[in-house]
Amino acid sequence: MPQKIKHTSKQVSMFLLHLVVFAIANVIMWYTLYKGETGWVYPWPAWVTAAWGLMVVGHACTIWANFEDKGMDVFKKQLNN
């Protein structure tokens, strides 16, 4: 069974920074969309929120769901031969 790679405090702090910037940017985008509008407006920030949200989930997965590759040493030996 592959071992889980330990995350560093710098990786966690960079993820938290990413999460805070994501939240602030989304609040600003959604606020500016509906500021002063009375009728229907195309929700363009939904595309940005969805794409960026997937990137935040991917960033979290690289920190907390990252496992070592047992076959990497064999691959490197084969690559050098």
Tens digits of per-residue pLDDT, 25-58? 999 999 999 998 888 999 999 999 999 999 999 9
Instruction: Specify if 39 maps to a domain.
Output: yes
Residue 4 belongs to some domain of the structure: no
53 vs 29: CA distance, rounded Å: 14
Domain coverage including residue 56: 9-80
Asked if residue 66 lies in contact with residue 4, where contact means CB atoms within 8 angstroms, the answer is yes
Share of the chain above pLDDT 70, in %: 98
The count of structural domains within the chain is 1
> Which pLDDT belongs to residue 1?
62
State the pLDDT at residue 67: 81
76 has pLDDT over 90: no
Question: Alpha helices of 1-81 — where are they, by DSSP H?
Answer: 9-34, 45-64, 72-80
